[in-house]
Structure 1
């Protein structure tokens, strides 16, 4: 969830943005920085256009280094959840699953997220449970944990990062038992409807890139598209400081 760019008043005009950028590049040059990498925040996070900086970087020799596919749902449009997802969702509704908004991240981190990431990808969550708890403490209205329980056992969960207009599923995982009953889909669909009712503009489900020949995880792409996502490209720029 890390982006880069300039932070400035929404009323700042393009010509002044250009001046600010030149001062940044001058500072980097004076401090012997060779390359400047820029990852712009996706447009759907912004209430107004913000591509003037991209243009000024291009005019100064910035090159598009790579792209990633970022999947998101435009909640202002009719939802496009696939028929198969909705069919399973209606079946799952009868399985006595409980969705709980939790303030303690330990159950999800220790019983679902950590073990599944280790099992499937041999990695750990980017945040430790202590770090995510500290973020929650500092931003109580922006970070939320939703978990699915069956017979008092946690079987799936999604960690939400929420802004004024956008909600992002930062972490999502399910146990083997949760996988069997499609608990993660059940939770996603409930949250999609919840945040649409709340008036959020977008539901960001993150990237699907993978280091393989095609450059993306086809199963993950299909999963997110069936939940109603569309592709919003994430660009990465590089400029040599001369």
Structure 2
């Protein structure tokens, strides 16, 4: 078993980390340190860098620590082990062995992996799916994502087309904005408070800061009727995927057709991408599905992919020792 050196992330590795993210086979802008650290006050960072014996960086693990458990990463939509483009299965076996042994020796009992959905990777990258089997990992959650494959001959349902036409007849106008204030204060925050007694994951100040750091990846589109905002979306744009992070409309959204009108615009705006990710419709760690929301997403032509969440006991690193024969 080849030895790798596992080190905790320090600020002195800021540039090295980000350079690795930029060329990794399964990374997105969410793994840039500027994104990970915008909410550093909420998490105890325990990110790891993994080096070979020649001190070449071979993998990273964005992570935070709670008690004796490491999560990858609770502040991100997805995580997992980030690899360079040349990584092969044997490399990942040995890297994972060394990571788990390092964690076990540092009194970390459990590693919780929030896997990157396959559509976000630049190259095939499901080594950890295989290793979860080898390590007797516990599948603690599985979300069903509604994904539209933009390379196929997809079509919207009759209901969606009718709603889109309502938007056209109501003379709705979509504008890209650089300021999130109107959408946050007039649509998003009031809706979340009223419907779910909740707040956006990102504050207005946080999303504005992230936009300043990632202007091409975070974009805001608002829907107006006679210069009054009626709906909007904050969309995260990746190399292969476009994904609305927030989307919401006022109380007249069904009558106006504003959200359907907006989604029709977005799908066409990002049709040069490979996928449009409508996100999950789950509750209770994936065991329940909000039927109405799922129906609405699938009526745009989206179909199901999954995101897996695993719990791995670090003491199981020895199970990797005899995999290769």
Fold-level match, TM-score > 0.5? yes
* C-alpha distance after superposition, 1:156-212 (max 9, x if no partner): 00110001111010000001133421201110111111211xx10001111101249
2:188 is aligned to 113
Q: Which runs of 4+ in 1 moved over 4 A?
A: none
Alignment of 1:188 with 2:188, yes or no, is: no
Q: Give the Cα separation in 2 of the matches to 1:220 and 1:175.
A: 17
Alignment of 1:218 with 2:291, yes or no, is: yes
Q: Residue 141 of structure 2 contacts residue 286 of structure 2 at CA under 8 Å; is this kept in 1?
A: no
Give 1:84-99 correspondences, 5 Å limit: 84-99=159-174
The 3 A distance-change label for structure 1 pair 44 and 23 is same
Instruction: Give the TM-score normalised by structure 2.
Output: 0.71
Q: Give the Cα separation in 1 of the matches to 2:203 and 2:233.
A: 15
Structure with greater Cα Rg: 2
Q: Give the Cα separation in 1 of the matches to 2:210 and 2:242.
A: 16
Q: Residue 104 of structure 2 contacts residue 314 of structure 2 at CA under 8 Å; is this kept in 1?
A: yes
2:91 counterpart SS class: helix
* C-alpha distance after superposition, 1:59-111 (max 9, x if no partner): 12212222111111110111221111112212321211110000000000000
Q: Unaligned regions of 5+ residues in structure 2, if any?
A: 1-75, 316-325
CA displacement at 1:48 relative to structure 2: 1.7
Q: Greater shift after overlay, 6-15 or 128-137? A: 6-15
The RMSD of aligned alpha carbons is 1.6
Q: Quick one: higher RCO (CA 8 Å, sep 6+), 1 or 2?
A: 1
Q: Give the Cα separation in 1 of the matches to 2:183 and 2:149.
A: 28
Instruction: Give the TM-score normalised by structure 1.
Output: 0.95
Q: Unaligned regions of 5+ residues in structure 1, if any?
A: none
Give 1:138-177 correspondences, 5 Å limit: 138-177=213-252
The 3 A distance-change label for structure 1 pair 225 and 241 is same
